[in-house]
Amino acid sequence: MSSNDAAPKSRFLVLHDYGMGGVWWWIQARSAREILETFAWIEVVTDPETVAQQEKDGELEEVDIDAPRMPPGLDGLRATRHAQRGRPGFGALADRDVVYLRRRWDEEDDKDDEDPAVYLMEVSPDGRRIRQVELAEDGTAVKSGPDDWPFNPPIVDLFDPELVGLQIGRDEFEEQWARARQLDVGR
């Protein structure tokens, strides 16, 4: 048993936000960081009003982080994180205030996508986009921000070791942001 295993546990409200909804749990853990290192695609919710409302509702499942079995949904998120642990780059971006990434559109099943694009993203510590530039193959660039998106779930998990290879510099992002035209919301 490590010294961390002896630390007292507290109750944390967590959310797996998948865009059009989310799944919530209470997790007994030694720290918020321990939760983030144990489960992929989870955010620890600290907003006092949200925590108070969930406490009042009293309908969420509560689990101990050390339990051998997790409820459906949470079990897969733990398995994903377990597979990432130990790989080079695991957690390398997790403590950054802002991360800049370059990603190709990766919807392989989207056969209607005739215009593949690259996305440059400015990402917050919770994995949500702050700003984004879409670079089309024809060289056009379109920028957008939170006011342009109907919802803004986390799009990356900053503990994921694969993100390290997608990282770009702030200067590259800002250069593309400056040359891009604003998204036409009515398109």
Q: What is the pLDDT of residues 48-71, one digit of tens each?
A: 999 999 999 888 999 999 999 999
> Mean pLDDT score of the chain, rounded to an integer?
90
Report, in angstroms and rounded to the nearest whole number, the Rg of the chain calculated over CA atoms. 19
What is the pLDDT averaged over residues 139-143?
93
Per-residue pLDDT, 1:
43
* Residue 110 reports pLDDT greater than 70: no
Given a cut of 70, whether residue 101 has pLDDT beyond it is yes
Q: In angstroms, rounded to a whole number, what is the distance separating the alpha carbons of residues 27 and 3? A: 20
Q: Which residue has the tokens 């955010």?
A: 43
Give the strands of the sheet with 43-45, arranged side by side.
Answer: 43-45, 10-17, 22-29, 62-64
Query: pLDDT category, 16, cuts 50, 70, 90?
Result: very high
The strand pair at 22-29 and 10-17 is best described as: antiparallel
What's the rounded mean pLDDT across residues 130-151?
Answer: 93
Candidate from 51-60, 98-107, 118-127 with smallest mean pLDDT: 98-107
Which pLDDT belongs to residue 184? 77
Look at strands 129-136 and 117-123 and give their pairing: antiparallel
b/e for 62-75, b at 16 or more Cβ within 10 A?
A: ebebeeeebeeebe
> pLDDT value at position 123?
97
Handedness of CA 35, 40, 46, 49 (dihedral sign): negative
Neighbouring C-beta atoms of residue 53, cutoff 10 Å: 11
pLDDT at residue 2 above 60? no
Is the pLDDT reported for residue 3 higher than 70? no
- Kindly state the tokens that stand for 130: 């702050």
In which element (H, E) is residue 17 found? strand 10-17
Q: Give the number of other CB atoms < 10 A from CB of residue 11.
A: 11
What is the percentage of the chain residues whose pLDDT exceeds 70? 90
Q: Percentage of the chain with pLDDT > 90?
A: 77
d(CA 93, CA 97): 9
Q: Are 77 and 42 in contact (CB under 8 A)?
A: yes
pTM as predicted: 0.85
Indicate if the pLDDT at residue 114 is higher than 90: no
Q: What is the pLDDT of residue 4?
A: 59
- The reported pLDDT for the residue numbered 186 is 59
